C-alpha cells in the first residue's frame, strides 16, 4: 500500500467516524430545528465524501497519480470547509469566516471534476 492511499483511507475513516458522532450529537443535543438541518446536511455530505475518498484510495493503489492526489486534497479541504462551517453553525451558531461554506462546496465540486478528468485520462 502506498503512503498516499494509506492517507486517504485514514482520512476517510476519520470522516466517517466524525459524521457518525455529529449525527448522534445532533439527535441528542436539543438543537433548534434549523441547527439540526445544518448538521444533518453536513453529516450527509461528509459521509458521501468519505466514500469518495475511499474510491480515491483504491484508485491510488493502482497508480500514483497527481490527479488522484489533487482530487483527494480537494475532497478533504471541501469537507473541512463546507461541513465544518455547517457543524459550527449548527452546534455553536458561529461562522468561521465569510464564504467558507461556498468555498468548501467549490472544493467538493472540484474534487469530483478532477476525479472525472482522471477517469478520462487514465490508461487501461
pLDDT in tens, 23-77: 999 989 888 999 999 999 999 999 999 999 999 999 999 888 999 999 999 999 9
In the chain, the number of structural domains is: 1
Locate 103 and state its grid cell. 468555498
24-46 burial, b for 16+ CB within 10 Å, e for fewer?
A: eebeeeebeeebeebbbbbbebb
- Evaluate if residue 124 carries a pLDDT over 70: no
Q: In angstroms, how far apart are the furthest CA atoms of the chain?
A: 52
Q: What is the pTM of this model?
A: 0.94
Is the separation of the CB atoms in 89 and 95 below 8 Å? yes
pLDDT of residue 29: 84
Percent of the chain with pLDDT over 70: 99
Alpha helices by DSSP H, listed for the chain, are 3-28, 33-62, 66-78, 84-92, 100-121
Is the separation of the CB atoms in 7 and 69 below 8 Å? no
Task: Give the tens place of pLDDT for each residue, 2-25.
Answer: 899 999 999 999 999 999 999 999
Tell me which residue range forms the domain holding 52: 3-121
Closest CA to 68 of 108, 2, 117: 117
pLDDT of residue 111: 99
Q: What confidence tier does 99 reach under pLDDT thresholds 50, 70, 90?
A: very high
Amino acid at each position: 500500500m502506498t503512503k498516499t492511499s494509506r492517507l486517504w483511507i485514514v482520512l476517510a475513516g476519520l470522516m466517517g467516524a466524525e459524521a457518525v458522532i455529529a449525527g448522534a450529537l445532533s439527535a441528542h443535543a436539543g438543537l433548534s430545528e434549523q441547527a439540526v438541518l445544518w448538521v444533518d446536511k453536513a453529516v450527509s455530505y461528509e459521509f458521501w465524501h468519505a466514500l469518495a475518498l475511499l474510491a480515491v484510495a483504491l484508485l491510488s493503489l493502482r497508480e500514483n497519480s497527481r490527479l488522484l492526489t489533487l482530487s483527494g486534497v480537494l475532497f478533504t479541504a471541501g469537507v473541512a470547509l463546507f461541513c465544518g462551517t455547517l457543524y459550527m453553525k449548527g452546534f455553536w451558531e458561529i461562522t468561521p469566516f465569510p464564504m467558507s461554506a461556498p468555498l468548501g462546496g467549490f472544493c467538493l465540486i472540484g474534487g469530483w471534476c478532477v476525479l472525472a478528468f482522471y477517469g478520462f485520462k487514465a490508461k487501461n
